């Protein structure tokens, strides 16, 4: 959200200026800003962008375009990149005499004449405005290219950036402190590519700083990112995104602030989404050679972005390791080779089989062995908890919580796969246990920080213990439901 912006009721004029200050407490309004209708069957994007900001001065951000260019209706704006999908959007505005245009990143063309603010010799689109003011109820369409690049490609993209990217998106003021510089180095040491360095920064911010819109006013004489990271230690999206971009630039990663709105709320079956003032959001974008600008989400109150693994990605419903097992490359060294957890639903007298316990498995088991397996659930669980805890002694809270999650989720056939990253694994478990998504995110974020950032997570032991306790109960209930569903199918 943008404390320097004002949305009066049915207000007029521009909502986004050329500057974005970092301030104190905010109060979010609820007035509608725009509706957007997606083409039939289209997957909605996470963001609707209006502008980007490139220059940080220690107290906020500015947008500094090189040129303003008039573009005819249907004319292309910005640069085109591979690994994208096309999305058509139709917007209806609620504001009076607004000129600002929104689109999912990255916008490609609009169906009305506009003014585009550009940089990088015309390759870098910063913001777009209609040439004529729009009245309430006015409609326009936009076509965007939504990035579909996979994680393997991002890791392999290298760091050979165009000159205009290096010159504009690595800028930092003298106000950036030594402790901020040291933190960036600590977080990214050991990460061998740009994508993993960005993941480490994202995970640290998500797992360390609580979301809070009612924060103090920062002192005038202190760098705002330093104040958020080390003194206030809580905040809202402007601070998460600003901190991500500063830490990324310190690590040699070209990054910028994007401003607009998050997904909003669906209002009909036709695919219309409504966006209110309370949906205003900022997020960082990172530049990857060949693929252009890619979004990240460091704000703790917002869900992580899902990204495909790569060409070798497995079907989400494919078998994983046997229940209770962890892929070796996702376990801390101290826990490799630990004792497996007994499966909740053993097959007909044979050894545990990953496929037999997978969620949604329709293998018809003999009724009597199934009932015996269910009757032994409490005993198996008791033995399982002992086997679970013994090999985890000496691990950090984040490592232990992640290992417990992966082992016990294996009871539902949701153990990690060799190709999974921690984030992908967390998203898969959360899809099966949506009521536990927030706790899963807290555990995965803490572990990702230690895995990719080579830094002990500062997420509190109490917070992780509470997250794990809630998840353990939910997984146990899910295991019970799975068993009874199988009986009813007999």
Nearest to 34 by CA among 104, 91, 107, 100: 91
Instruction: Return d(Cα 63, Cα 36) in angstroms, integer.
Output: 26
Task: Provide, rounded to the nearest whole percent, the portion of the chain with pLDDT above 70.
Answer: 74
More confident residue, 41 or 360: 41
Least confident of 152-156, 266-270, 419-423, 453-457: 453-457
Q: How confident is the model at residue 340 (pLDDT cuts 50, 70, 90)?
A: very low
Please tell me the predicted confidence (pLDDT) of residue 452.
Answer: 57
pLDDT reading at 474 higher than 90: no
Cα 142 from Cα 128, distance rounded (Å): 11
**Whether 439 contacts 471, CB under 8 Å:** yes
Mean pLDDT across the stretch 363-391?
A: 46
Cβ–Cβ under 8 Å, residues 2 and 61: no
Residue 447 pLDDT? 80
Q: HSE on the CB side for 45, CA within 13 Å? A: 29
pLDDT > 70? residue 379 = no
pLDDT digits (tens, 9 = 90+) for 239-248: 999 999 999 9
**From 187-201, 296-310, 404-418, the region with the lowest mean pLDDT:** 404-418
Of residues 379 and 188, more confidence is placed in 188
**pLDDT category, 405, cuts 50, 70, 90?**
confident
> Going along 25-138, which residue ranges are E strands?
32-38, 47-53, 55-56, 60-62, 67-71, 84-93, 98-100, 107-110, 114-119, 124-134
DSSP 257: E
Q: Which residue has the higher pLDDT, 251 or 384?
A: 251
Burial 157-190 (b: 16+ CB within 10 A, else e): beeebbebbeebbbebeebbbeebeebbeebbee
What tokens were used for 346?
Answer: 């053993």
pLDDT score recorded for residue 460: 61
Question: What pLDDT sits at residue 285?
Answer: 99
The three state secondary structure string of 176-244 is CCHHHHHHHHHHHCCCCCHHHHHHHHHHHHHHHCCECCCCCCCCCCCCHHHHHHHHHCCECHHHHHHHH
Contact 198, 248 (CB under 8 A): yes
Q: Are 102 and 34 in contact (CB under 8 A)?
A: yes
> Which is more confidently placed, 321 or 86?
86
Nearest partner of 459 among 439, 478, 474, judged by Cα: 439
* 3-class secondary-structure state, position 76: strand
Domain boundaries, the chain: 19-295, 328-488
């Amino acid at each position: 959200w943008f404390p320097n912006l004002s949305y009066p009721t049915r207000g007029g004029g521009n909502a986004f200026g050329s500057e974005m200050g970092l301030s104190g407490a905010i109060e979010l309004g609820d007035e509608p800003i725009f509706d957007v209708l997606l083409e039939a069957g289209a997957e909605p994007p996470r963001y609707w962008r209006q502008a980007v900001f490139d220059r940080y001065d220690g107290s906020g951000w500015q947008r500094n375009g090189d040129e303003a260019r008039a573009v005819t209706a249907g004319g292309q704006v910005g640069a085109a990149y591979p690994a994208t999908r096309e999305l058509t959007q139709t917007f209806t505005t609620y504001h009076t005499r607004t000129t600002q245009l929104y689109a999912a990143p990255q916008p490609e063309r609009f169906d009305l004449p506009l003014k585009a603010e550009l940089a990088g010799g015309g390759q870098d689109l910063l913001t777009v405005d209609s040439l004529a003011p729009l009245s309430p109820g006015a409609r326009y369409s936009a076509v965007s290219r939504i990035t579909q690049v996979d994680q393997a490609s991002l890791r392999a993209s290298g760091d050979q950036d165009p000159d205009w990217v290096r010159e504009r998106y690595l800028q930092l003021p003298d106000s950036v402190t030594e402790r901020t510089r040291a933190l960036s180095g600590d977080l990214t040491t050991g990460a061998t590519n740009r994508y993993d360095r960005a993941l480490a920064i994202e995970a640290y911010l998500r797992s360390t700083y609580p979301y809070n819109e009612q924060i103090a006013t920062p002192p005038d004489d202190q760098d705002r990112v330093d104040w958020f990271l080390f003194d206030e230690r809580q905040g809202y999206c402007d601070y998460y995104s600003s901190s991500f971009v500063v830490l990324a630039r310190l690590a040699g990663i070209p990054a910028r602030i994007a401003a607009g709105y998050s997904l909003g709320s669906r209002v009909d079956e036709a695919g219309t989404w409504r966006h209110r003032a309370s949906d205003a959001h900022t997020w960082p974008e990172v530049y990857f050679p060949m693929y252009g600008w890619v979004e990240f989400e460091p704000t703790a109150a917002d869900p992580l972005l899902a990204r495909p693994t790569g060409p070798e990605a497995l079907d989400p419903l494919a078998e994983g390791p046997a229940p209770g097992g962890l892929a070796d490359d996702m376990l801390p060294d101290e826990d490799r080779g630990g004792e497996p957890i007994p499966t909740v639903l053993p097959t007909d007298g044979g050894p545990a089989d990953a496929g037999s316990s997978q969620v949604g498995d329709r293998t018809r088991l003999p009724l009597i062995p199934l009932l015996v397996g269910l009757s032994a659930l409490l005993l198996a669980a008791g033995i399982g908890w002992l086997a679970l805890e013994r090999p985890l002694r000496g691990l950090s809270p984040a490592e232990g919580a992640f290992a417990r999650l992966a082992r016990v989720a294996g009871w539902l056939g949701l153990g990690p796969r060799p190709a999974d990253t921690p984030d992908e694994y967390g998203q898969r478990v959360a899809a099966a246990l949506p009521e536990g998504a927030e706790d899963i995110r807290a555990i995965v974020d803490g572990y990702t920080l230690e895995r990719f950032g080579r830094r002990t997570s500062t997420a509190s032991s109490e917070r992780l213990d509470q997250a794990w306790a809630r998840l353990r109960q939910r997984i146990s209930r899910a295991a019970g439901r799975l068993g009874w569903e199988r009986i009813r199918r007999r």
